[in-house]
Amino acid sequence: MERILELYEKMYRDYALSIFEVEIKLHAARTTRMNGRLEAYFNSSQNRNTFARIMCKAYQTDTPVIITEVCELLNANRSSVSVMVDECEKEGWISVARENNKALCMATDELYEKIMMYVFWKKQISQSIVGDNYKKITQIESVLRSVGIPVPDFSYGEKNIYEDNVELVNLKGGSNDNNFK
C-alpha cells in the first residue's frame, strides 16, 4: 500500500507541475496577446479579464448581470466597475440595458467571439499539458477508492468543493503543511 501512495504522490506532483506550466503560459499569453484594443483592454488587469468572462457568461446564458452582482464577483467597488461598464459600452464590447435605476449588462457578439477563440486556445494547451496527468491522477484515485484506501490529502486545508463525499487522509500525519516536504 505504501508503494501505491508513493506513486500517487509522484503523480500528484506531476499534475501540479502541469498546472504550473499552464498558468505560466496563460500569463505569457495575457501579456503578449495584445492584438487590438479589445485584447489590450481585457488583458491589462485581472479585474478586466474576469469582467470579460462575466459578460460572456451573461451572453451565453442570456441572463444580463447588474453592476452590483459584478462588484460582488470581482470583489471590486462600484465606481471601478461602473467605469469598466462605461468604457466597454462605448467600445461596443458590451450591451447595457438601463431599467429602474439598474444597468443590465452582457457581452456583444464581438467580445463573445474573442473569448470563444481564447476558450479554444485554452482547451488546446490544457489538453496537451494537463490532460494526461489529470487522467492518471483521477484513475489512481478511482482505484484507491475502489479498494477502500482513502485518497491522500494534498489540499493544504482547502475545502474540496467538487467532491463532498471524498475521504482524504494526510499521508505524513499531523498538519497538511508537510505533505510535499
> What CATH number is given to the structural domain containing 100?
1.10.10.10
Q: What predicted TM-score, i.e. pTM, was given to this entire model?
A: 0.70
Q: Are residues 57 and 19 in the same domain?
A: no
- Answer for the pair 31, 176: CB distance below 8 angstroms, yes or no: no
Higher-confidence residue of 52 and 178: namely 52
Give 124's pLDDT tier (boundaries 50, 70, 90). confident
- Answer for the pair 114, 40: CB distance below 8 angstroms, yes or no: no
Arithmetic mean of pLDDT over the chain: 84
- Answer for the pair 105, 95: CB distance below 8 angstroms, yes or no: yes
What local confidence, expressed as pLDDT, does residue 130 receive? 81
Q: Are residues 47 and 92 in the same domain?
A: yes
Q: What integer is the mean pLDDT of 112-116?
A: 93
Q: Are residues 96 and 136 in the same domain?
A: no
The answer to whether residue 93 scores a pLDDT higher than 80 is yes
How far, CA to CA in Å, does 84 sit from each of 13, 35, 81, 163?
39, 20, 5, 36
Q: Are residues 103 and 113 in the same domain?
A: no
Residue position matching grid coordinates 509522484: 10
Q: How far apart are CA 68 and CA 77, in angstroms?
A: 9
Q: Are residues 89 and 50 in the same domain?
A: yes
Q: Are residues 38 and 80 in the same domain?
A: yes
The answer to whether residue 16 scores a pLDDT higher than 80 is yes
Range of the domain at 73: 34-107
| Domain's final residue, options 68, 86, 107 | 107
160-179 tens-digit pLDDT = 555 544 444 444 443 333 33
Q: Are residues 42 and 102 in the same domain?
A: yes
Q: How many domains does the chain have?
A: 2
136-159 tens-digit pLDDT = 888 889 988 898 888 888 877 665
Q: Are residues 98 and 117 in the same domain?
A: no
What local confidence, expressed as pLDDT, does residue 174 receive? 39
Q: Are residues 22 and 57 in the same domain?
A: no
